[in-house]
Amino acid sequence: MKAYQHMTKEELLTLKKELEAQFEDVKSRKLSLDMSRGKPGADQLALSMGMLDVLNSSSDMKDDAGVDARNYGLVDGLPEAKKLLADMVGTEPENAIVFGNASLSIMFDTISRSMTHGVMGGTPWCKLDEVKFLCPAPGYDRHFSICEYFGIEMIPVEMSEDGPDMDVVEKLVQEDAAIKGIWCVPKYSNPQGYTYSAETVERFARLKPKANDFRIFWDNAYAVHHLYEEKERQDTLPDILSLCKEAGNPDLVYEFVSTSKVTFPGSGLSMMAASEGNRKDILNHMRIQTIGHDKINQLRHIRFLKNMDVLREHMNKQGALTLVKFKVVWDALEEELDGLEIGKWTYPRGGYFISFDSLEGCAKAIVAKAKEAGLTVTPAGATYPYGKDPKDSNIRIAPTYPSVDELALAGRLFILCVKLISIDKILENK
């Protein structure tokens, strides 16, 4: 195909007329398609329905240690649940605290606790003149929303295939005591699907921040979410907790994971893993907040998933379903956009998203055009702090929720919008 930039004005106008006719035809169908959030599809959720049958009124409600899951106690979770979740991220069970269904809630509470009571005896952040966070971008919009909610200043840090620009991270945290943390999705990152390199993880572990209460918020949300069953096609990630300990920085990191996209998003388990000092600090606050989380749900997960071998088999089935949907999008992008030089996209080996970069200045218009024809995608700019993409080019595509048939239609419509808006942008400069 001929690159749009190399077409004459007349060629572009002729093509635009053809594409507009196609768009009006699609628009007349009054579609309602959604690729806006990384939600599991119904086919993925169906894989976990057996979990609802592992416990009933005649079940033994005690774990292997004899703890009655129906009663109070064990604020940090059942030992078997701690092991299962710790194994998911490759850390030790003694580092784990098991919470409710959402790791996002733990992250919110951790920021809130730091604001009101400080970190391990430090000054509460709310009493400081300024609090800042580093935000690798493009990144996870809900991380940024937490910062906005608490009035924390966000500093974007550019992402590469190896992770955040560590030269920038190291320089900033060493110089500015107001920088209290950094958000990280280190494996199959949201939205690009990048996995931090071993060197990047090691540099994180060796950080020497000026602020004693600086913490790395290591949101390992996609730790087991591979698209491919073959080991050689799966990304790996070193254990940040052990590396921090070896580097003499045991308290530097909070790690988060959940089963939200392993079993049921509304009824999963979540975990925070941290050093002994951090755990003690967190549990002192938790004992005021709760007498314990839902241990029956913890027992349900233990009985259903059992161990990492069973969990891997379960996730291989999910990966196979998810890969089909990713390929639908990739095939459409390749078939329709290769050679046109109006967009580029990522090919992650896991996670939930494909990151698409349009021509500069086009993302918001593409999203609006898609909405006009009944397709909802993540708002342009959402992957940047304050919703401000400096290039107005990044769009997060979430392929998992629609059916394959819906996805094929949504992909074609999205591409049609990319073509139309790109032509308008190029014509502006002709």
**pLDDT at res. 127:** 98
Question: What pLDDT does residue 173 have?
Answer: 98
The full DSSP string for 207-274 is: ---SSTT-EEEEE-TTTT-BS-SSGGGS-----HHHHHHHTT-TTSEEEEEESTTTS-GGG--EEEE-
Residue type, 244: C
Output the average pLDDT for the chain: 97
**Within this chain, do residues 272 and 344 fall inside the same structural domain, yes or no?**
no
Q: Looking at residue 7, what is its pLDDT?
A: 95
pLDDT tens per residue, range 34-48:
999 899 999 999 999
Give domain status of residue 287, yes or no: yes
Three-class SS of residue 88? Answer: helix
Residues 219 and 328 in one domain: no
Query: Do 335 and 356 have their domain in common?
Result: yes
The one-letter code for the residue type at 208 is: K
Do 272 and 180 belong to one domain? yes
CATH of the domain at 117: 3.40.640.10
Answer whether residue 50 is part of any domain.
no
In a domain, 52, yes or no: no
Of 40, 37, 34, whose CA–CA distance to 268 is shortest? 40
Q: Is residue 51 part of a domain?
A: no
Same domain? For 15 and 141 the reply is no
For the whole model, what pTM was predicted? 0.96
Q: What is the pLDDT of residue 12?
A: 96
From 305, 339, 361, give the residue that closes a domain. 305
Tell me if 420 sits within 8 A of 20, measured CB to CB: yes
The percent of residues above 70 in pLDDT, for the chain, comes to 100
Residues 113 and 80 placed together within one structural domain of the fold: yes
Asked if residue 390 belongs to a domain, the reply is yes
Q: How far is CA 395 from CA 237, 265, 349, 414, in A?
A: 26, 24, 19, 11
- In degrees rounded to 5, what are phi and psi of residue 260? -55, -40
In a domain, 180, yes or no: yes
Q: How big, in percent rounded to 5, are the helix, strand and coil portions of the chain?
A: 45, 15, 40
Write out the residue range of the structural domain in which residue 16 sits: 4-44+313-428
Residue 3: count of CB within 10 angstroms of its CB: 11
User: 323, 362, 319, 365: which is closest to 340 by C-alpha?
Assistant: 362
Quick one: pLDDT at residue 429? Answer: 84
> Which of 25-34, 139-148, 195-204 has the least mean pLDDT?
25-34
Give the mean pLDDT of 231-240.
97
Our count of domains for the chain comes to 2
pLDDT digits over 162-191, tens only? Answer: 999 999 999 999 999 999 999 999 999 999
* pLDDT score for 1: 73
Mean pLDDT of 197-222: 98
Whether the pLDDT of residue 368 is over 90: the answer is: yes
- 132 strand-pairing partners: 153, 179
List the structure tokens of 307.
């161990």
The three-point CA angle 172-177-179 to 5° equals 60
Domain annotation covers residue 182: yes
Of 276, 305, 334, the residue that ends a domain is 305
Give the strand order in the sheet containing 394-397. Answer: 343-345, 354-358, 394-397
In-domain check, residue 105: yes
Question: In this structure, are strands 96-98 and 394-397 parallel, antiparallel, or unpaired?
Answer: unpaired
Q: 296 in helix, strand or coil?
A: helix
Which of 246, 274, 305 is at the close of a domain? 305
Q: What is the mean pLDDT of residues 230-237?
A: 97
Same domain membership, residue 180 and residue 206: yes
CA 385, CA 370: separation in Å to the nearest integer?
A: 23
Same domain, 344 and 297: no
The pLDDT tens digits for 56-104 are 999 999 999 999 999 998 999 999 999 999 999 999 999 999 999 999 9
CATH number at residue 16: 3.90.1150.10
Question: pLDDT of 303-357, one tens digit each?
Answer: 999 999 999 999 999 999 999 999 999 999 999 999 999 999 999 999 999 999 9
One domain for residues 248 and 342: no
Same domain? For 388 and 263 the reply is no
Query: Is the domain of 226 the same as that of 352?
Result: no
Whether residues 200 and 345 fall in one domain: no
Grade residue 430 by pLDDT with cuts at 50, 70 and 90.
Answer: confident
Task: Over range 284-310, report the average pLDDT.
Answer: 96
